[in-house]
Amino acid sequence: MNRTLIGFIKKELTQTLRDPRMRVLLFVMPVIQLTLFGVAISNEVKNIRLAAVFDSRDTVLRDIYERSIAGTWFIPAKSEEQDPYTMIEAGDADAVLVPPPGGFTRALGRGDAQLQLLVNATNVLQAQSVEGYLQNIIQQTIKDDLNMTPPDLPIQIDTRVLFNPDLKTSVFMVPGVMSMLMIISTMVMANIAIVREKEMGTFEMLISAPVSRSEVIYGKTIPYILLGMSNLPLILAVAVFAFQVPMRGSLLILFASALAFVCTTVAMGTLVSTYCRNQQQATLAGFLFIFPMIMFSGMMFPLENMPTVLRWISYFDPLAHFLGLLRNIMLKGGERTYVITHIVYLAVLAIATVIASFRRFHTTLE
């Protein structure tokens, strides 16, 4: 590495880190955010307000209700309303159990028991889980209360969850939030760094200075790769020590994949910056890229369900590969073929974007 380049990188780093607020944003905020989102966000179903309409003689339904409330899923709903539908509509309850006329217990004795469940399905995911969970509780309660032991099913499926047996949400979510934080800090920062010079008019000065073009490009990208990488140990430490996300694979491989990822995102940021004239444009463009990237990464929505054409897009999504790698390396110890394939994908993406951004950069410089 020559001296001009080192000087350039130093200048870029100083310029970014000079502002103490920027230092806080770059190094403290990701840690706070990861902690915040890691603690707060989950897909677990909790605190669903359940109501049941029963009189004192309806012992089975009472037991079902009490059992449901005893767990973490449900809390009792408070409502002055009597009509189950109105209860939900008024927002006092999320789910209501309605027995047949005469009570559920008596209907069970008659042998034609129908229990109605009303669920607020505004949140699709919750509604489905609530139904399944209540189904189980009802079965159990009927079995215990009426001493009915239905014969076991002839086929038994012994289900085990691998890699995250307790289904801890933080184990799922933390790698996702990690990769999201890294993409925001690298891609947008690199993009803006160049556009700012353009906007200020200092870019012309840079070009007329005795530095070669590749020095400009390297000088404008390497600092952001370094910054992005410096974030990784910080958020990794929070993930492992604060959230007990296991780290079963090799740190070295994790860093290698992070490097490939950060190179890609920084190069993408640079590529986008060649099309932008001011920072407002740059930020918007950043979003146009980052949003689909998050969508197609499989962090929030299952990739399995997307139409095939859209799933192909995920092959071009560095975030999808990186999230896959993070999860595979951290939770599964890094299966060799998978890790190699996806690092290669990332590397190809990195090289392609670097070449493309070099090209674009050269044309804009002329």
Partner 1 sequence: MSSFVWRRAAAVSRKEVFHILRDPYTLGAALVLPVFMVIMFGVAIEFNVKNVALAVCDSDQTQSSRRLLDTFGSSEYFLIHRVVSPHEAVTDVSAERARAALIIPPRFEKDLFAGRAAEVQMLVDGSDNSTVGPVLGYVGSIQSIASQRIAGFERPAPYELRTRFLFNPELNSRWFVIPGLTVVVMSILSILLTALTVAREWENGSMELLLSTPVEPLEIVVGKLSPYGVLGVIAVTFVYVIARTVFGIPFAGNIAVFGLGCLLFLVTYLAQGLLISVMTRKQTIAMQLAMMSGMLPSNLLSGFIFPIESMPKFFQYFTMILPARWFMRIARDTFLEGSSFFELGGSFLALSIFCVLMILVATRRFKRDLEP
Residues 331-360 that bind partner 1 (CB under 8 A): 331-333, 335, 337-338
Burial call 59-84: b when 16+ CB within 10 Å, e when fewer: ebbbbbbebbeeeebbeebebebeeb
* Of 8 and 296, CB closest to partner 1: 296
Position 205 contacts partner 1 (CB under 8 A): no
Q: Which residues contact 324 (CB under 8 A, 6 or more apart)?
A: 298, 338, 342
Q: Which 237-266 residues touch partner 1, going by CB under 8 A? A: none
**What's the one-letter identity of residue 254?**
L
213-221, 260-268, 323-331, 356-364 -> range binding partner 1 (CB under 8 A) = 323-331
How is 177-243 classified by DSSP, letter by letter?
Answer: HHHHHHHIIIIIHHHHHHHHHHHHTHHHHHHHSS--HHHHHHHHHHHHHHHHHHHHHHHHHIIIIIH
Cα Rg of the chain, angstroms: 28
Position 201 contacts partner 1 (CB under 8 A): no
Position 134 contacts partner 1 (CB under 8 A): yes
Question: What single DSSP character describes residue 151?
Answer: P
Q: Which 282-321 residues touch partner 1, going by CB under 8 A? A: 283-285, 287-288, 291-292, 295-296, 298, 300-307, 310
Q: Which 2-31 residues touch partner 1, going by CB under 8 A? A: 19, 21-22, 25, 29
Q: How far is the CB of 17 from partner 1 (least distance, A)?
A: 12
Which among 357, 117, 85 has a CA at the least distance from the CA of 214? Answer: 357
Position 40 contacts partner 1 (CB under 8 A): yes
User: Token pair for residue 227?
Assistant: 């910054």
Position 91 contacts partner 1 (CB under 8 A): yes
From candidates 89, 102, 214, 359, binder to partner 1 by CB under 8 A: 89
44-52, 253-261, 263-271, 346-354 -> range binding partner 1 (CB under 8 A) = 44-52
Q: How far is the CB of 241 from partner 1 (least distance, A)?
A: 19
